[in-house]
A = this chain, B = another copy of it.
Amino acid sequence: MNIIPIGDPQDPRVTAYLDIRERDLVGRHGRFVAEGKVVLDLLLSTRRFAAESALVLENRLAGLQPILRKAPADFPVYVAGGEVMDKIAGFHMHRGILAIGVRGDPAPAEALVETLPRRALAVVLVGISNHDNMGAIFRNAAAFGADAVLLDTTCCDPLYRKAIRVSVGAALQVPFASFADTATFTATLDRLGFSQFALSPRGAHDIREADRSPRLALYLGTEGEGLPRDLLARLHTVRINMAEGFDSLNVAAASAIALHHFSNR
């Protein structure tokens, strides 16, 4: 790594870290922000995304050596004191560890699923628009060994700063890609031999009765509306049984139950 002290918040070399929260909203021209030690470690070790640089508090540098050693020799590590770092970020950065990653050119979902192994667990998301839920679903996907997450175009961005943070870096680890048309994508998964299950409060079968097939796709929809009716008609529908009078489960919690069920058999 290449350690570069930064004394001036206006230093052009740290432009990518300016006003973190404001940039969350306007976007970062193909870049994303990774925060914290665990996420930085995943960024540098999975290498799914190129890492452009890191910005760390001077008192965190020593503890990060084992992680930063995973970066290329010329990887810039900008080091700043607390006051300078807060001025760059635009708010108090108590963790003191930031990095910039590059999104690269995302492959379409159809290409990603072609590469999956003969035994594979795929998560298909339709209309997941909350970054906390997105991050939590990725975290569960990683915990239960899902091979890919496929998103329709109404889903929010897994590389949004908060989604990465809530995922504890799983968004940098589990391969994901987007598809444009759900019906076409469902047909692709069908052709590739995936059994396709949709989680729905009014699913035909209790999920505990659902068998695992070698290639399995699990569809999750928005919390309020759920999955579109015409899509449900084309898939196996499974439900999570709840207490009487209750049919509301957070979609991330539902993903944990369903992925745990399918991954362990």
Contact = CB atoms under 8 A, between A and B. Distances in A.
Given A263-B243, A264-B208, A264-B241, A143 B248 contact: yes
B249 A140 contact: yes
Interface stretch (A77-85, A108-116, A187-195, A251-259): A251-259
A139 interface: yes
Contact of A242 (B143, B168, B248): B143
A140, A143, A144: most-surrounded residue (chain B CB, <10 A): A143
Nearest to A244: B145
Interface string A121-150: 000000000001000100110111100000
Interface residues of A, number: 28
B145 A253 contact: no
Interface in A230-265: 240-244, 246, 248-250, 252-254, 256-257, 260, 263-264
Q: Chain copies in the assembly?
A: 2
A168 to B, nearest CB: 6
Given A256-B253, A256-B256, A257-B256, A243 B208 contact: no
B140 A243 contact: no
B250 A136 contact: yes
A223 to B, nearest CB: 10
B243 A144 contact: yes
Contacts of A264: 206, 208, 241
Nearest to A249: B143
Interface string A196-213: 000000000010100000
22 contacts: A136-B250, A136-B253, A139-B248, A139-B250, A140-B249, A142-B243, A142-B246, A143-B243, A143-B246, A144-B242, A144-B243, A145-B243, A168-B248, A208-B264, A241-B263, A241-B264, A243-B263, A249-B256, A252-B252, A252-B253, A257-B257, A257-B260
Given A143-B242, A143-B249, A240-B260, 6 more contacts: A132-B132, A136-B253, A140-B250, A143-B243, A143-B248, A144-B243
